[in-house]
Amino acid sequence: MNVTLSITNLRSTLQQFLLWLFILLPGLAISAQDSITVQLKWKHAFQFAGHYAAVERGFYKEAGLEVTLVEGGPETNFAHELITGKCHYAVALSSMLIHRNEGKPLVALAAILQHSPEVLLVPGSSGINTPHQMAGRTVAASPEDTPALLAMFKNEGLAADAVKTIPYEFSPEKMLSGEIAGMGAYSINEPFQLQKLGIPYRLIQPRDYGVDFYGDCLFTTEDEIARHPKRVRAFLEATLKGWQYAMSHRVEIIDLLKGRYHCPLSREALNDEADQMALLMFSELIDIGHMNEGRWRHIGDTYVRLGMLAPGYSLDGFLYDREPKTDLAWLLWTLGGTIGSTLLLGGIVLGLIRVNNRITNAERQARESQAMLQTVINTIPVGVFWKDRDSRILGCNQVFAGYAGLGSPQQAQGLTADRLPWKDDAQDEVTEEQVIQQGRSILLSEKSLTSPSGSTRHFYQSKVPLKNELGDIIGLLSVIEDITSLKAAEEHQTRLKDRLLQSQKYESLHRLANGVCHHSNNILQALTSYAELARLQTPPGQTREFMDGVLRESQRVAALNRVLLTCTGHGLHQFEETRLRAFMDESLPTLKCCLPSTHELEWQHDGPEVIIHADRESLRHLLINLLTNASEATEGSGTVYLRTGTLLCDAAYLQDSQIDPAPDPGEYLYLDIIDTGKGMSPEVLQMVFDPFFSTKFTGRGLGMAATLGIIKSHHGALKIQSAPNQGTTVRALLPVLKK
């Protein structure tokens, strides 16, 4: 530690001496009011607040710069703008590394956003929680969002063509209709728009799956640095100063955007954008503009895995050095021209050169050793971290940093579990205390963590005491492995097994019911015929009343047989072209009558007229069953909602229904019956379609089984969503008739 302090003090003295010399030398000042152009990445918004602050507060002017800010757009080619000299500086993404390795002399000056705002946006009602569930689905994404999303899918084991990508457009309608499963979006913009529209959504963030690119970065060219080194440094310092001011004076910047720059976004939207920017900048722990070569190496390696960058790519010259080595030859030449002090200053400088070289060599060796160690640790394919006795993180690898929601291992240093972006359980503190205080090793314990986006990941974790050379426990070492995909596969396997058993059970019951119904119907026909003949030949009196009772009970048994046949999907149906609006106009009076007087029925249809191939009476019976259940689940008074419309359903969506085998993909009419009642537990949901199962009184329970049979006979699908105290939504899907 003392050696390090001595080296630091000596270097500081050297830098102060050289700075004093530079002040004395002529010709080093920036020419007054250099005019430069900055190409922004998009339209005026809080995303570029630092530049507005630097202009309006005079930071650029103090640096001798007159700056013009140019809006960007979807067609802006940032590399071309820089190379052709149309702009001097540009705000762009990390994909500029690809252009650099194509021979374009681009240089990264600073990373404004430590984390990329690129996310996958999916509907909250879709049931999609992980990238793995996107297999076979379609995503709308812009070219700049695609690499991060593709890398996330690849990390989850999906093939390159497993997810279809189409050009981006902000279209909640297509997402809600199922035409696309999600959108590549910016966390600083689109989620707020959906929130204002009242559309539930879920964010899947690439950095939760080991893909953590930088967000907005500042770029320039080698030519600009070579010809105007002082201007580059002055521009960068003024810009970073502008960002520091902007993030602590948000209201002022928002007023500026609305007034001078005519930003069309609302103040509420701009304020939300500022909040999201603060999370991505991570400025509480990392200086604004900080870049790490290891992080860029991680980004480059990701591009290599995607086939967008050659394996032998280079970072040489790509990262701007804010403190370049002193040009000693130039310094000696300049000093040689000074009057009366050439020999004295030359001797001093030569002595300082030797000291500087020794310092530089020592620092280089230390950096190389540390870099090699970090490279080895980062190569380990599972998360690794180590803590001191106070449970503060001393170090970790890149995999663990990704698990924890951080951009780099450096961001984790000094943090305790409660300060990490993830949500950990309190039990973890107990196990760490056992390891540190008692010296116990805990191997392969299972734990769950919740990421900032709300997604849950599952891990195997092992912890062992960390000891020094004397054998004293100085902390703990932990290895953590993500088993989310493994658990998802196990759960999927369990669901398939349960569905197979349920399908076999239903098939056996259906065959039995079908046989019993046909045989009992034959017996009933004979019994009814004899009873009718006997009744005709019996004079009025008690005996005829007995015959009437026999006929009534025979009709009840026949009705029960018809319901049982419906449950098996083999009921007698008269299919015909059915127009939804005409059918509903005809059926609404009957449907309303099946509800108690304390309940109301509200029907709403979204979209044009729909034609289906259906048995009208069976369809009416289906709606009566579902509406009756919904009204009984809603205690007291209330409203039962019937929503209808069309939906494009893919194979994955239909696979997750109550019908096995699933129907073919295509356009379907949906009938949603929604109640706000007490809902159902998972245990009840598993049995709700069993024949004769009921949460009501004895004699009920064929309604849902019959509903399932009607849907099956119409080649449709049935989905149900319910939770205790959260109501129930039953969605019946019937194929739309193609003309």
Inter-CA distances, 272 with 186, 267, 278, 362, Å:
13, 9, 10, 47
> Do residues 714 and 734 lie in contact, with contact meaning Cβ atoms separated by under 8 Å?
yes
What is the three-state SS of 334-386?
HHHCCCCCHHHHHHHHHHHHHHHHHHHHHHHHHHHHHHHHHHHHHHCCCEEEE
Other CB atoms within 10 A of residue 26 CB: 6
Give ∠ CA 257-260-263 in degrees, rounded to 5: 40
Mean pLDDT for each consecutive 10-residue tract of the chain (739 residues)? 44 50 42 84 96 96 96 92 97 94 96 93 88 91 82 87 89 89 91 90 87 94 96 97 95 95 94 92 82 92 92 94 60 50 57 62 60 72 90 88 81 83 64 84 83 78 88 90 84 73 64 67 74 80 78 68 59 80 91 88 91 88 88 87 93 83 91 91 77 52 70 90 90 88
Give ∠ CA 656-662-663 in degrees, rounded to 5: 125
Length of the chain: 739
> Do residues 40 and 48 lie in contact, with contact meaning Cβ atoms separated by under 8 Å?
yes
pLDDT at residue 6, as a whole number: 45
pLDDT at residue 114, as a whole number: 92
Q: What is the CATH number of domain 381-482?
A: 3.30.450.20
pLDDT at residue 28, as a whole number: 40
Cα 713 to Cα 707: distance, rounded to the nearest angstrom? 10
Of 143, 152, 42, nearest in space to 98 by CA: 143
Assign domain 575-735 to a CATH class: alpha beta
Q: Find the DSSP H helices in 537-615.
A: 542-568, 580-593
> Do residues 394 and 376 lie in contact, with contact meaning Cβ atoms separated by under 8 Å?
no
Enter the pTM of the model.
Answer: 0.46
Fold entry, domain 118-209: D-Maltodextrin-Binding Protein; domain 2 (3.40.190)
Q: Find the DSSP H helices in 104-228.
A: 146-155, 172-177, 190-197, 222-227
In sequence order, what are the residues at sequence separation of 6 or more whose Cβ sits closer than 8 angstroms to the Cβ of residue 435? 441, 442, 463, 464, 465, 476
pLDDT at residue 24, as a whole number: 44
pLDDT at residue 216, as a whole number: 96
Architecture of domain 488-568: Orthogonal Bundle (1.10)
pLDDT at residue 615, as a whole number: 86
Fold entry, domain 31-115+214-305: D-Maltodextrin-Binding Protein; domain 2 (3.40.190)
pLDDT at residue 19, as a whole number: 46
> Do residues 276 and 188 lie in contact, with contact meaning Cβ atoms separated by under 8 Å?
yes
Cα 655 to Cα 588: distance, rounded to the nearest angstrom? 31
Q: Which amino acid is at 100?
A: R
> Do residues 396 and 373 lie in contact, with contact meaning Cβ atoms separated by under 8 Å?
no
Other CB atoms within 10 A of residue 162 CB: 16
